[in-house]
Structure 1
Amino acid sequence: MSTASHQPAPKPVAATSPHARIAQEEQITAVAATLVLAYGLHPADITRIPEGTATDNYAVVDQAGRRHPS
């Protein structure tokens, strides 16, 4: 028999406000623009990844399907 104390804690669901979503979209747009201007890398997909403690980190997939963690 299993009790609640023996169950793994559920993952907290982060409530994302509309302002936070817009800010995140603006950050991703800025990352994309920087990659194009500074490195000539044209991203097909950019995803924020949970790495680092005081930085925002992203995984980038280019047009050829290569993944570039940053």
Structure 2
Amino acid sequence: MYAAIQNIDDVCNILPLSYWAGLGCSANPTLEDAVAQAHYQGKRIRALFYQCKELNSASYYSYEVI
């Protein structure tokens, strides 16, 4: 995952992309940080999905290095 994120970032920095195409270039900053931390520590990532049932809340992922 670390190499894939780095490769995508490199390609997106080189190519002139439209706004909508450029949105696919950036990974979630929380995920990107967790992947980098796990890469350098030689560990894995656990992704937890929280689904909110309330109208004012949104579902989200939480990432932790294990």
TM-score by length of 2: 0.29
Which entry has the higher C-alpha Rg, 1 or 2?
1
Q: Which has the higher strand share?
A: 1
Q: Tell me which of the two structures has the higher relative contact order, counting C-alpha pairs closer than 8 angstroms and 6 or more residues apart.
A: 2
Q: Which has the higher helix share?
A: 2
